[in-house]
Structure 1
């Protein structure tokens, strides 16, 4: 059998094993599924069972873009206009504080652009899984979800700008990318307003496009069409594809909210195949032999402590709103930017702005943050409820 065919067969068999058994490992270890998939990817990659493959890489990239699309489906853009002004002020103050800290640290730590992105980085991917365990009645979690959504938009926009700068430098192409980004955002705003008016005049149109009951799965087809069309536009404009995928998902959540089961249907396919493939691939890129090389494990642990501590300390501006326990839980829940931290590290590494050791440190830090934050949230939530029941 040809070597490439053998490699692909090995990848398929390992993927089948990991995708199927990851939830069971997660249940036993109490670690979220995504970190489990990355850890298994590291282990199988170390033993040579996940060799290099262009097809594997392409499917993994599609998985990442689809994950950003799913993250967008958690965000109803219309809900942002309904947020209480006092709450919005607190949210923006928290995010602004993180960026101020990042700017100050950028003057001392190199590369400055990476510090500016990483310190305030937010992602709702892992955060959304907390609702399954703690429900939707926890004030700290609801506020964290809104903050994470706003923060993720900021993070992706900045990641798009920095990605363009890393690729083109301070050249005309970089400023062309900025113009394209502004144009894309303007078109999105116009599209949002246009669809709002269109569906106001023709309220049945959205039901026609996505019927409540449909054997042809028109809702999935329209979602996939929007996803692929947006990805094509971002490729044409040479912008960060993840940003376009995220916006496409948010349009689905905003204008087709009558399809309550749609995010679940889209997620079933994504979290059952594409997204695990992305996480396994990321794990396979980490060479286990390098973990104990100076600059890998120590930097990963420093990032873990540093990023978590800053977010928890900054969360105390919300102490009047959430109380002491709630503020800490809020900060910890926003300390798991797993997907975007990996994306940032990948962009920087591919552009040769960071060493391989630092890239591995980022991957490990993203894993440690998700695991430690989850465990800490569970412990603090337990003591919070115990204290509440005894008083």
Structure 2
């Protein structure tokens, strides 16, 4: 049996059985996929086939697209000024902590970008389990803004790592600013178009749709913006994320569409990305001196700085919900791994720190999910009594 056939069978089996292991262990499916990818990669069942890498990259971009579909730009812009000020203050505290820790421990400058990363990808999975609670609603709002900042910095850092801090970076910054201005004008133009001619949105995505026009248009927007990023030399994830924002912002009548898109992604493309990430983690690296301790320090630092920063929301949602919100942002799994991989390939971090970040990302997901469940159960018991 050829290596590629074994690879396909292995990936298929991981996709099929990961949810069962996750249910058995009472953990999210994502870390299970990474762990299985690492184990089976170590025993030679998974290797770096070119097509596998491409599909994994597409899975990452699709995950960023799904993250974007969790953000309705119209609702974000209607966020009360007090809440928006607190969100900005929250992000300032995070980056202040990050800069201070990086300078105090004499770490590489890339740590200043890595430590405060925020991603709403796994926050969306929390909403499926806990519903639309006040702390999760605020988490999505603050997380959406934080993710835009994180992906913007990811774009700039990617360019800086690839070509240094010369004229190329200046061109990237200019291209990013011009693109954002264009996107702002486009958003406003589409908003006006749909306001004057509301039938256009239902014509593009009809209520009764037997030709899957909603999926076709969503995929069209996704690939158009990814293609625009590719042409401009910007981070592809940023284009995918913006494409996702289009869906709930302008097609509010298709309430089921984000879930429909997520079901496809989490059932096929996204697991392949996580399996690939797992396969790149060499289990023998666990024997590296200081790896586990560094991973634990990174994980604890990232969780602590978010929980402390989240205390700015005490007056809005209370102490317990503020802590839950901070914890919900402590699982930037996808962005953290993507950024660490980028930094490692550009030689900005060594092998030890690369593996430490991947391990820390796993520690964060597993431990934070458990802590959130414990705190939420305690909160519910307290409310009942």
Output the TM-score relative to the length of structure 2. Answer: 0.97
Equivalences for residues 176-325 of structure 1 within 5 A = 176-325=171-320
Looking at structure 2, the residues matched to 341 and 165 of structure 1 have their Cα atoms a distance apart, in angstroms, of 17
Looking at structure 2, the residues matched to 77 and 112 of structure 1 have their Cα atoms a distance apart, in angstroms, of 35
Deviations 1:182-223 (A, max 9, x none): 111111001001101111111100110111112111111111
SS of aligned partner of 1:128: helix
Which of 315, 337, 350 is the matching residue for 2:332? 337
Number of aligned residues: 385
Matched, 1:83 2:70: no
Shift of 1:105: 2.3
Does the Cα contact within 8 Å between 1:18 and 1:40 map onto a contact in 2?
yes
Looking at structure 2, the residues matched to 288 and 327 of structure 1 have their Cα atoms a distance apart, in angstroms, of 36
Looking at structure 2, the residues matched to 74 and 47 of structure 1 have their Cα atoms a distance apart, in angstroms, of 37
The CA RMSD measured in Å over matched residues stands at 1.2
Shift of 1:97: 0.8
Does the Cα contact within 8 Å between 1:286 and 1:360 map onto a contact in 2?
yes
Deviations 1:218-243 (A, max 9, x none): 11111111111111111111110000
Looking at structure 1, the residues matched to 234 and 377 of structure 2 have their Cα atoms a distance apart, in angstroms, of 44
User: Which residue number in structure 1 is paired with residue 11 of structure 2?
Assistant: 15
Looking at structure 1, the residues matched to 11 and 106 of structure 2 have their Cα atoms a distance apart, in angstroms, of 37
Does the Cα contact within 8 Å between 2:37 and 2:276 map onto a contact in 1?
yes
Looking at structure 2, the residues matched to 183 and 320 of structure 1 have their Cα atoms a distance apart, in angstroms, of 38
User: Which residue number in structure 2 is paired with residue 129 of structure 1?
Assistant: 125
Matched, 1:94 2:94: no
Does the Cα contact within 8 Å between 2:71 and 2:140 map onto a contact in 1?
no
Which of 43, 46, 59 is the matching residue for 1:50? 46
User: Which residue number in structure 2 is paired with residue 146 of structure 1?
Assistant: 141
Output the TM-score relative to the length of structure 1. Answer: 0.96
User: Which residue number in structure 2 is paired with residue 26 of structure 1?
Assistant: 22
Does the Cα contact within 8 Å between 1:295 and 1:361 map onto a contact in 2?
no
SS of aligned partner of 2:100: helix
Looking at structure 2, the residues matched to 318 and 214 of structure 1 have their Cα atoms a distance apart, in angstroms, of 42
Matched, 1:63 2:45: no
Shift of 1:8: 1.6
Does the Cα contact within 8 Å between 2:108 and 2:349 map onto a contact in 1?
no
SS of aligned partner of 2:110: helix
Shift of 1:319: 1.9
Looking at structure 2, the residues matched to 146 and 339 of structure 1 have their Cα atoms a distance apart, in angstroms, of 19
Shift of 1:324: 2.2
Looking at structure 1, the residues matched to 202 and 183 of structure 2 have their Cα atoms a distance apart, in angstroms, of 22
Looking at structure 2, the residues matched to 109 and 149 of structure 1 have their Cα atoms a distance apart, in angstroms, of 30
